[in-house]
Amino acid sequence: MAAWKVLLTDGLEENGKEILRSAAEVTDQSGISAEDLLKVVGQYDALIVRGRTKVTESVLAAAPHLKVVGRAGVGVDNIDLAAAKAYQVTVVNSPLATTVAVAELTLSLMLSLVRELPRADASMKAGKWLKKEFEGRELFGKTLGVIGFGRIGSAVATRAKAFEMKILAYDPLVSAEEIKKRGGEPVSLDELLAAADMITMHMPLTADSRNLLNAEALAKTKAGVYIVCAARGGVIDEEALLAALNSGHAAGAALDVFANEPPGTTELVAHPHVIDSPHIGAQTVEAQARAANDIAEEILNALAGKPLRWKVA
């Protein structure tokens, strides 16, 4: 009989399930409701989620045998970390698995934005040939401001350098020396806002980062600035961004994340100068396989009391 019981609530790639099955009984209840989760979570030693499932204090209170919660991905804002600590439940994630996928999506959003690719495609599908209307901009020679210069932010910078962009970086958690090693020029937030032709956000959602790009910050940016975000919904004040777009101060925005998901057809989502995608940053075959492998190994290590690579709490 397997030593431990593991519950999956948001699915997991088969390679990860196979790793878990080597030492545990695995139950996949993808899409389980919050109400039903409370009824069954008490049976399990480990819980693996993605972004959909909310691991609240109530969930943790209902799980007396729970030893570890794993997030198959990076962000853990859907897990109550303070409650996990109080209930002595370890929280782990798989922060390296999706770096390339999110960085590549960010570059694709940047290119789509300056060349208006979604609108160009839609016009062709409507039987129109609007060549003269699509005079875009180049990334070459532009200044990219990267807010958050961790794994993903620096990976974006590496790729942006292939377009010969100048990289400015702001990250209060990374030293100036380390920013330079990662290929960025360390600057203050105000310096970045004033100089960047395009700004891309790459930080978790915390009390400090919530609405970091607000009306006051946007007022400090260049006229015609482009905004890209594939980090977490909530780091941009969406009403302030909409106002900047409507006034023409911001030339465009590309958003993969929203304060409320799904956001519905809001004025921001429907704006003609906004490119939207449904939080697909990590959604590549390769990234999902890596995330499944990494979180499965980390969960088994946690259950066995072995050293952990990615303990969050």
Q: How far is CA 157 from CA 75, 86, 163, 192, 225, in A?
A: 20, 38, 10, 14, 18
Q: Note whether 303 and 99 are within 8 A (CB).
A: no
Q: How far is CA 252 from CA 91, 156, 215, 268, in A?
A: 37, 19, 15, 11
For residue 1, pLDDT over 60 is answered with no
CATH 3.40.640.10 applies to domain 4-96+285-303: no
Pairing of strands 250-255, 274-276: parallel
> If one looks up domain 99-276 in CATH, what number appears?
3.40.50.720
Name the band, by pLDDT with cuts 50, 70 and 90, for residue 75. confident
Known catalytic residue at 50: no
Note the helical H segments in the chain: 14-21, 34-40, 57-61, 81-86, 99-115, 117-125, 151-161, 176-181, 189-195, 215-219, 238-247, 285-303
CA 261 to chain centre: 13
Active-site residue, from 164, 261, 267, 286: 261
Task: Give CATH 3.40.50.720 domain extents, the chain.
Answer: 4-96+285-303, 99-276
Known catalytic residue at 232: yes
What's the CA gap between 93 and 108, in Å, rounded? 26
For residue 238, pLDDT over 60 is answered with yes
User: What are the structure tokens assigned to 167, written together?
Assistant: 């990289």
Q: Note whether 113 and 298 are within 8 A (CB).
A: no
For residue 26, pLDDT over 80 is answered with yes
Active-site residue, from 119, 137, 271, 279: 279
What's the CA gap between 61 and 297, in Å, rounded? 25
For residue 86, pLDDT over 80 is answered with yes
Name the band, by pLDDT with cuts 50, 70 and 90, for residue 2. low
Active-site residue, from 71, 151, 182, 232: 232
For residue 3, pLDDT over 90 is answered with no
- Quick: pLDDT tens for 256-302: 999 999 999 999 999 999 999 999 999 999 999 999 999 999 999 99
What is the Rg, in whole angstroms, of the alpha carbon atoms belonging to the chain? 21
Q: What pLDDT is recorded for position 216?
A: 98
- Quick: pLDDT tens for 130-143: 999 999 999 999 99
Q: What residues contact 248, with CB distance under 8 A and at least 6 apart?
A: 223
Q: What residues contact 131, with CB distance under 8 A and at least 6 apart?
A: none
pTM of the predicted model as reported, rounded to 2 decimal places: 0.90
- Quick: pLDDT tens for 30-58: 999 999 999 999 999 999 999 899 999 99
For residue 39, the SS3 value is helix
Known catalytic residue at 191: no
Q: What is the largest CA-CA distance in the chain?
A: 68
